Amino acid sequence: MDNKFPGKDISDSDLKDKFPLSSSLNKKKIVKINNDISFGGNVVPIISGPNGIENKELIFRCCEILEKNNLKLLRGQIYKPLTFPYRSEKYYELGDEGLKILEQIKKNFDVLIVSEVMEPEKLTLMNEFVDVFQIGARNMQNFPLISKTAKYKKPIILKRHFGCSIRDLLGSSEYALLEKNENIILCERGISAPHTHKSTSRFMLDIQAIPALKEYSCLPIIVDPSHACFWHEWVESLTLASLAAGAEGLMIEFHPDPRNAAVDPLQAINFQEFTNLVKKLRSIASYLNKKIL
């Protein structure tokens, strides 16, 4: 029976009426980033880097690690949705100052930058250096922000809010697709559950979201295990599980000195752990006939 009340269940008529462009009634989409990298096919791109660009030296070291691992997609966050409004030398985001660093990254490294947009006013400035816009979990239902970002026609990673259903997520992606931007990538990054309210499991990775989104949607689905568990010790396990469960891309946080990261110091893994993890991902990927890039 069709849904009469707003809820979590996805009915057949939702697929046709509520999110016809995002739904699995369409041909599965492949979101192309460049000639080699795309989401939704046989390539599984890894987006990696620190939580935020803290300074030029740090992000340059991170770019070197990307290059050493033959990866191309950098987490290049300069605007951050920080939970608390007070800033200090230890807790900050770069903001506008970071735009210059994005420019320097582009000049010095062959990487593609993924960066979160918080305010539509910054879109034109960011558009110069950013290859993939990220809409964070907290803005998943900021519909004007989604529509305005989509108008730039660049790929968008839309993260699922930790309290929102899959039906809600597909409502949000529909706003982007309506702007005639087909390059939308969905991201599962953990949901709230009563027993996850500990620092070692701030959110719970909804691994079922991967097959569910493939069933209901035509858009690629990636996973951010770092934000899901918030705990560096668990990142490897969740990353490997996500790939095995069909994730079409991964977002992984690393940092040269994780426990001293400016934001979310518990969730980043170090360079060595990251390099080991990429090796394991490549061996699982080859078993699945997929390629990590």
Kindly list the residues in this chain that would bind Mn ion in the complex (CB under 5 A). 264
Which of 42, 53, 62 lies closest to 274, judged by CA? 62
Instruction: Quote the crossing angle between the two packed helices 97-108 and 56-68, to the nearest 10°.
Output: 30
Quick one: what does residue 50 bind among Mn ion, ligand PEP, none, with the CB cut-off 5 to 8 Å set by partner type?
none
CB 120, CB 104: distance < 8 Å = no
Which of 148, 156, 214, 143 lies closest to 185, judged by CA? 156
Number of residues in contact with ligand PEP under rule CB under 6 A: 11
Shortest distance (Å) from residue 263 CB to Mn ion: 6
- Does 136 bind ligand PEP (CB under 6 A)? Our answer is yes
Burial of 114 (0-12, 13-18, 19+ CB in 10 A): buried
**What b-and-e string marks burial along 194-203, b requiring 16 or more CB atoms within 10 Å of the CB?**
eebeeeebbb
Binding mask 230-269 for ligand PEP (x = CB under 6 A): ----------------------------------------
- Does 202 bind ligand PEP (CB under 6 A)? Our answer is no
Shortest distance (Å) from residue 286 CB to ligand PEP: 28
Shortest distance (Å) from residue 9 CB to Mn ion: 30
**Alpha-carbon dihedral sign for residues 255, 189, 249, 220:** negative
CB 224, CB 187: distance < 8 Å = yes
CB 19, CB 12: distance < 8 Å = no
Shortest distance (Å) from residue 186 CB to ligand PEP: 12
Select from 38, 69, 77, 217 the one that contacts ligand PEP (CB under 6 A): 77
Shortest distance (Å) from residue 77 CB to ligand PEP: 5
Nearer to Mn ion, 174 or 264 (CB): 264
Shortest distance (Å) from residue 283 CB to ligand PEP: 26
Stretch of 123-131, 134-142, 205-213, 268-276 lying at the interface with ligand PEP (CB under 6 A): 134-142
- Does 48 bind ligand PEP (CB under 6 A)? Our answer is no
| Gap between the Cα atoms of 121 and 49, Å rounded | 25
DSSP symbol at 269: B
Footprint of ligand PEP on this chain (CB under 6 A)?
A: 51, 77, 81, 116, 136-138, 159, 189, 224, 227
